């Protein structure tokens, strides 16, 4: 390096230090004022609970860091389909994805813990079991460790729903196990979606979300399994719906581990100990209200969905057909940690009873 260039660098450094002195800041504090970007991608419109949750997160991050972190949100799959979001994070195209369990299962099958059929006790407005799993150190520790090994920082579980309805369809009310047999039911995919439908004696169908309304209208499928929130938001209404829920569903918020490690420790602490707990609490409370409100709305004009509720005896009959098979597949896909997760979810829900 020439003497002239070296001299310029020294003068520039001296200028920064001098400015810091004039402002009453130490050189370390000047460095601390550096602005960091966080680019978040998700596949849902801004008016949905996905959008509201991320708006809340953005507000809190920018406020609590005094603007040192600038958050930009790319909603509505505007940068690409939801199935490519994790790859975008790993490639550095964006810094975080607010995704769904069915997609993340392709990266880490342990994410399927949320939707093992009849493992988690959840129903509209009754999310205590899911809430316990959201905050459980064992479950979240396993997921965080596994996903860190894949280059992802698990920020947390930010719900937009409590779980998946038993089934909805246009043929007949489903009130017993026999009623569902032979129906063509669209499922959400993932590790256990097809297994759930097939084990109950129905025919599992794969239809993209965009094609669901036409498939229902033309009778390509008789019905579907999804969440009441998305069912109502997407206007996928059918004649009949059966409650409560057969499973929860994962809503992971994942960041690039490389990006996360580039943040100063104080910003990491703000996000982990202040922003994320508040965001998860906001989301959880919102969902409890939203599910109950939507269930009431969809039974009225112009939707007129007829809702049935399985008895405790029928729930056990349904569970007996699929639960053990699903647990076996989950443990096989995840490995020894899979059984540890199953046992922990059971432990967390042993005193919970779903009420109609």
* Residue 22 confidence (pLDDT): 44
Max alpha carbon distance in the chain (Å)? 87
DSSP 70-96: EEEEE-TTTTS-GGGHHHHHHHTSSSE
Could you tell me the CA-to-CA distances from 166 to 53, 240, 248 in Å, in that order?
26, 11, 11
pTM for the structure as a whole: 0.86
Residue with tokens 């009873």: 353
Query: What gap in Å lies between CA 167 and CA 162, rounded to an integer?
Result: 15
List every span in the chain annotated with CATH 3.40.190.170.
Answer: 33-161+250-291, 164-248+304-348
Alpha-carbon torsion 238, 221, 236, 253, what sign? positive
Give the count of beta carbons closer than 10 Å to the beta carbon of residue 296: 11
Residue linked to tokens 């042993």: 350
230: closest CA among 50, 46, 40? Answer: 50
Q: What is the mean pLDDT of the chain?
A: 90
CATH topology of domain 164-248+304-348: D-Maltodextrin-Binding Protein; domain 2 (3.40.190)
> What are the structure tokens assigned to 63, written together?
């406020």
| pLDDT score, position 18 | 44
280-292 pLDDT, tens per residue? 999 999 988 889 9
Report percent pLDDT > 90 for the chain: 79
- Residue 71 CA to residue 38 CA, distance in Å, equals 5
Query: Any idea what the Cα angle at residue 100 is, between residues 95 and 104, rounded to 5°?
Result: 70
At residue 14, does pLDDT exceed 50? Answer: no
| Angle between helical axes of 128-135 and 336-348 (0-180°, round to 10) | 130
Contact predicate 241/306, CB 8 Å = yes
Q: What is the pLDDT of residue 17?
A: 43
Instruction: Work out the pLDDT band at 112, boundaries 50, 70, 90.
Output: very high
| CATH number for the domain formed by residue range(s) 33-161+250-291 | 3.40.190.170
Q: What are the helix (H) ranges across the chain?
A: 3-23, 27-32, 49-64, 85-91, 101-104, 128-135, 137-148, 177-180, 193-199, 212-218, 228-233, 257-261, 265-270, 276-298, 312-334, 336-348
DSSP 8-state symbol, 349? T
C-alpha distances out from residue 1 to 6, 9, 13, 33, Å: 7, 11, 16, 29
Question: Per residue in 268-277, pLDDT tens?
Answer: 999 999 999 9
> What confidence tens digit (pLDDT) does each residue in 157-182 have?
999 988 999 999 999 999 999 999 99
Name the phi and psi angles at 302, rounded to 5: -95, 10
The rounded distance, in Å, linking the Cα atoms of 96 and 74 is 10
The answer to whether 69 and 94 have CB atoms below 8 angstroms apart is: no
């Amino acid at each position: 390096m020439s003497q002239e260039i070296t001299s310029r660098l020294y003068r520039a450094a001296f200028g920064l230090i001098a400015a810091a002195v004039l402002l009453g800041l130490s050189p370390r504090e000047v460095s601390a004022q550096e602005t960091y970007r966080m680019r978040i991608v998700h596949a849902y419109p801004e008016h949905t609970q996905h959008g509201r949750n991320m708006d809340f997160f953005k507000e809190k991050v920018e406020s609590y860091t005094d603007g040192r972190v600038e958050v930009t949100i790319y909603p509505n799959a505007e940068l690409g389909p939801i199935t490519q979001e994790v790859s975008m994070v790993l490639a550095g195209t964006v810094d975080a994805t607010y995704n769904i369990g069915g997609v993340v299962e392709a990266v880490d099958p342990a994410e399927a813990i949320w939707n093992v059929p009849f493992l988690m006790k959840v129903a509209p407005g009754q999310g205590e079991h899911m809430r316990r799993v959201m905050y459980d150190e064992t479950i979240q520790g396993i997921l965080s460790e596994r996903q860190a090994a894949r280059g992802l920082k698990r920020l947390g579980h930010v719900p937009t729903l409590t779980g998946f309805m038993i089934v909805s369809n246009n043929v007949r009310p489903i009130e017993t196990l026999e009623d569902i047999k032979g129906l063509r039911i669209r499922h959400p995919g993932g590790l256990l979606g097809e297994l759930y439908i097939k084990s109950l004696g129905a025919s599992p169908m794969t239809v993209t979300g965009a094609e669901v309304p036409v498939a229902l209208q033309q009778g390509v499928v008789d019905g579907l399994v999804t969440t009441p929130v998305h069912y109502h938001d997407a206007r996928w209404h059918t004649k009949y719906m059966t409650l409560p829920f057969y499973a929860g569903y994962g809503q992971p918020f994942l960041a690039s581990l490389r990006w996360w490690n580039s943040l100063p420790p104080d910003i990491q602490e703000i996000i982990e100990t202040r922003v994320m707990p508040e965001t998860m609490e906001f989301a959880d409370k919102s969902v409890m209200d939203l599910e109950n409100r939507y269930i009431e709305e969809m039974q009225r004009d112009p939707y007129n969905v007829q809702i049935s509720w399985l008895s405790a005896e029928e729930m056990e009959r349904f569970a007996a057909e699929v639960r053990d098979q699903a647990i076996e597949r989950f443990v096989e896909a995840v490995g020894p940690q899979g059984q540890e997760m199953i046992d922990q979810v059971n432990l967390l829900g042993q005193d919970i009873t779903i009420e109609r």
